[in-house]
Amino acid sequence: MGYAIEFQDVTKTFRGAGRPAADHVDFAADEGEFITILGSSGCGKTTLLKMVNRLYEPDSGKITLFGTDISTMDVVKVRRRIGYVIQQIGLFPHFTVGENIAIVPRLLKWEKEKVDARVEELLELIGLEPEEYKNRYPAQLSGGQQQRVGLARALAADPKILLMDEPFGAIDSITRIKLQDELLGLHRGMEKTVLFVTHDIEEALKMGTRVMIMNEGKIVQFDVPENIIRNPADGFVKSLVESAKAKEQFWERFQ
């Protein structure tokens, strides 16, 4: 079967851009890994993520999921097998919470009973009482609840791969920490490979089984969190780690 996700020498340059958004990217993720991708805006982390579900197509190189080259697969089918969560959440405002969660199972033409049961199961998983929330509209939920529904929608068809693009970026810090912990708990209970993009180093180190640090379209370091902190690969990683430490010192001053 091979790796869950593998990039082989993938390059992508957007028209009119001076340098590639992804520059000869090469990496592999085992099934069940939680990989956080860290970098400042414009470093190519979102580009990398969107190439996995083919919202962007690479100029060169190959991307495989469980050994299959995704460019040879039907694009819509690839996407239905991958969960996708974005910062802006993007719930469908004219669908109820239940209908939002049911979207991929319905696209896959599951039977109605199976869809309904799955929606209830997921609502319970994300801690929203099904009877109370199923028939609400997204506008009637708080930001944190909306992103919970966004996560449930992504998990609905039980995808093996989950892509998350700064999912908690627009959520207040108290709710964010809660959601982080919930997601980690959920991940422990399932054999899913997660790619999680963030620009917050603490989030990256906390969530990732491995952390990928990107700068100017290249992977600068890809390692377990301890090694990132102990042996930063270059000045860029070092400055990232130091920025987190500086923040810590700021708090210590008040204790």
User: Pick from 76, 129, 131, 174: which binds other proteins (CB under 8 A)?
Assistant: 76
Q: Which stretch binds other proteins (CB under 8 A): 147-155, 171-179, 185-193, 223-231?
A: 147-155
Q: Which is nearer to other proteins, 82 or 228 (CB)?
A: 82
Q: Are strands 60-65 and 68-69 parallel, antiparallel or unpaired?
A: antiparallel
Round to whole Å and give the CA distance between 93 and 163: 22
Q: Which stretch binds other proteins (CB under 8 A): 18-26, 76-84, 115-123, 246-254?
A: 76-84
Return the range that interacts with other proteins (CB under 8 A); candidates 30-38, 40-48, 119-127, 146-154.
146-154
Yes or no: say if 49 and 82 are a contact pair by the CB < 8 Å rule: no
Number of residues near other proteins (by CB under 8 A): 24
CB-count burial class (<10 Å; 0-12, 13-18, 19+) for 84: buried
User: Is 80 an interacting residue with respect to other proteins (CB under 8 A)?
Assistant: yes
> How many secondary structure helices (H) and strands (E) does the chain include?
11, 10
Determine if 41 is a binding residue for other proteins (CB under 8 A): no
Which segment (39-47, 65-73, 83-91, 209-217) binds other proteins by CB under 8 A?
83-91
- Please state the closest distance from residue 40 (CB atom) to other proteins, in A: 21
Nearer to other proteins, 98 or 150 (CB): 150
What is the rounded CA–CA span in Å between residue 21 and residue 216? 7
Determine the Cα–Cα distance for residues 78 and 23; give it in Å rounded to an integer. 24
Among positions 18, 93, 185, 189, the unique one binding other proteins when judged by CB under 8 A: 93
Residue 2 phi, psi (nearest 5): 80, -160
Contact code string over 184-223 relative to other proteins, x by CB under 8 A: ----------------------------------------
Phi, psi of 200 (to 5 degrees): -105, 115
Say which amino acid occupies 13: T
What is the CB neighbour count within 10 angstroms for residue 220?
19
Please tell me whether residue 86 binds other proteins under the rule CB under 8 A: yes
153 binds other proteins (CB under 8 A): yes
Residue 94 DSSP SS3? coil
For residue 88, state whether it binds other proteins (rule: CB under 8 A).
Answer: yes
Give the sheet arrangement for strand 60-65, strand by strand.
Answer: 22-29, 5-12, 60-65, 68-69
Binding of residue 79 to other proteins (CB under 8 A): yes
> Which spans of this chain sit near other proteins (rule: CB under 8 A)?
53, 55, 76-81, 84, 86, 88-94, 103-104, 107, 150, 153-154, 163
